């Protein structure tokens, strides 16, 4: 067992990281292969394909990032293994998030992670209205990630697309938060800083930050938070000790002989907030983000449009910040993989019908241009 995983690791290192130049602490850079539905490396621009099953997220900037959402209309908890990448730009062969979907963002760069918090109407990304969502990470029930073959890169550390080993995404119908862990030291491993076993705690607890941003799109630097669930207890001779919170969880284990045993993990007293909210600085903000792609080319099922020249900016007005609902409850179970996968495969068949709509809208666009001249 150990021997075979060592071999796998060695093979993967040579195949994946052609362009690495910086050195990273152990556990930060992903050393495995890409998910089978992903391009070999992050790529932009790519052809629009709203039936894509690609699962490669890039987290680069306030207007160049991706999140996972269902391939067809569904609850997150029913589709964790088959979520697909949705990106603000046409990249990574992934689906494109239509302009107007996201209503506010906070993009934070810290010494240990990149973190993006967002509000929006994620029913436009196939999440059922009112769905309380779930937590996605590269571990999952099979160890191949939720979704299976889901991968994450960021270029914020050194300008190169670095494959990141540890990340976590909470997403529901109107909020998401994602963190990719880009650093580690002997106190904080990447695995602890992107701890993936607090799926019922919600964004504000797991990824503390400013949540009062709906209506604005801000990019900030920020101090490093304590790892999720860590509470400092004492500092002696410059060394801090911590207590950690483990989410309460009960389950039933079925033994090889068919007998069942109940078990309990975690603490029954659930803390209500993280120990601190790290302060942020050097913020800049815009009133919106935009890829400038006509919404008609981003209808569910459309594929094959050439990627347009990407634009940015726009003139949406900032709305008042409002309260937020915590994301992520009830997602410990992974739904049924095989039937979900079958339903997922069915989705692409609508493509032909939608192609006609695109052509019609392109033609009327041309007519409009002709009339203006």
Ligand X SMILES: *[C@@H]1O[C@H](CO)[C@@H](O)[C@H](O)[C@H]1NC(C)=O
For residue 123, give the nearest of 145, 98, 106 by alpha carbon: 98
Complex with ligand X: residue 101 or 219, whichever CB lies closer: 101
Structure token digits, residue 270: 């659930």
Rule CB under 6 A: say whether 364 interacts with ligand X. no
Count of residues engaged in binding ligand X, rule: CB under 6 A: 42
Distances in whole angstroms, Cα of residue 118 to Cα of each of 62, 66, 207: 10, 11, 12
**Listed ranges 31-39, 251-259, 336-344, 360-368: which one lies at the site for ligand X (CB under 6 A):** 31-39
Torsion of CA 59, 63, 67, 73, to 10 degrees: -170
Choosing from 186, 260, 264, 338, the residue that interacts with ligand X (CB under 6 A) is: 186
Choosing from 65, 167, 170, 188, the residue that interacts with ligand X (CB under 6 A) is: 188
Give least dist CB 267 to ligand X, A. 24
Rule CB under 6 A: say whether 83 interacts with ligand X. no
Give least dist CB 275 to ligand X, A. 13
Choosing from 63, 99, 131, 161, the residue that interacts with ligand X (CB under 6 A) is: 131
For residue 93, give the nearest of 27, 35, 160, 13 by alpha carbon: 35
Rule CB under 6 A: say whether 305 interacts with ligand X. no
Q: How many CA atoms lie within 13 A of 201 on its CB side?
A: 27
Rule CB under 6 A: say whether 337 interacts with ligand X. no
Choosing from 22, 142, 187, 336, the residue that interacts with ligand X (CB under 6 A) is: 187
**Listed ranges 143-151, 261-269, 288-296, 362-370: which one lies at the site for ligand X (CB under 6 A):** 143-151
Name the helix (H) or strand (E) containing 364: helix 351-372
Q: Which residues in the 197-226 window bind ligand X by CB under 6 A? A: 214-215, 224
Cβ 330 vs Cβ 281: under 8 Å:
no
Give least dist CB 95 to ligand X, A. 9
Cβ 67 vs Cβ 58: under 8 Å:
no
- The span from the CA of 133 to the CA of 136, in Å, is 10
DSSP E strands in 155-223: the ranges are 162-163, 167-171, 175-181, 217-222
Rule CB under 6 A: say whether 78 interacts with ligand X. yes
Rule CB under 6 A: say whether 144 interacts with ligand X. yes
For residue 94, give the nearest of 134, 136, 151 by alpha carbon: 151
Binding site for ligand X (CB under 6 A): 16, 30-35, 37, 47, 49, 51-53, 74-75, 78, 103-104, 111, 119, 128, 131, 138, 144-145, 151, 163, 174-175, 185-188, 214-215, 224, 303-304, 319, 322, 324, 348
């Amino acid at each position: 067992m150990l021997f075979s995983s060592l071999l796998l690791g060695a093979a993967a290192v040579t195949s994946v990281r052609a362009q690495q130049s910086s050195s990273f602490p152990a556990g930060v850079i992903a050393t495995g292969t890409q998910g089978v539905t992903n391009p070999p490396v992050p790529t932009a621009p790519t052809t629009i394909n709203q039936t894509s099953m690609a699962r490669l997220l890039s987290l680069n900037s306030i207007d160049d990032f991706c999140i996972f959402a269902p391939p067809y209309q569904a609850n997150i908890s029913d589709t964790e293994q088959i979520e697909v990448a949705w990106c603000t730009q046409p990249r990574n062969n992934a689906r494109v998030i239509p302009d107007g979907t996201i209503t506010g963002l906070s993009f934070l760069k810290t010494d240990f992670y990149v973190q993006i918090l967002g509000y929006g109407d994620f029913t436009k990304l196939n999440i059922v209205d009112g769905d309380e969502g779930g937590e996605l990470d590269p571990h999952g029930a099979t160890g191949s990630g939720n979704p299976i073959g889901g991968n994450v890169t960021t270029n914020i550390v050194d300008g190169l697309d670095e494959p990141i080993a540890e990340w976590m995404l909470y997403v529901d119908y109107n909020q998401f938060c994602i963190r990719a862990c880009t650093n580690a030291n002997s106190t904080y491993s990447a695995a602890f800083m992107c701890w993936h076993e607090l799926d019922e705690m919600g964004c504000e607890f797991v990824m503390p930050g400013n949540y009062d941003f709906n209506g604005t799109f801000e990019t900030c630097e920020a101090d490093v938070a304590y790892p999720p669930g860590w509470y400092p207890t004492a500092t002696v001779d410059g060394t801090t000790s911590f207590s950690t919170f483990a989410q309460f969880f009960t389950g039933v284990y079925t033994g090889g002989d068919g007998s069942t045993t109940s078990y309990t993990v975690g603490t029954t007293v659930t803390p209500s907030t993280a120990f601190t909210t790290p302060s942020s600085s050097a913020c800049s903000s815009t009133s919106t983000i935009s890829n400038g792609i006509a919404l008609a080319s981003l209808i569910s099922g459309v594929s094959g449009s050439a990627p347009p020249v990407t634009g940015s900016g726009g003139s949406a007005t900032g709305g008042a910040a409002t309260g937020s609902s915590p994301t992520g409850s009830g997602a410990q179970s992974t739904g049924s993989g095989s039937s979900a996968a079958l339903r997922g495969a069915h989705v692409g068949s609508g493509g032909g019908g939608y192609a006609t709509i695109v052509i019609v809208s392109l033609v009327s666009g041309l007519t409009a241009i002709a009339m203006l001249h």
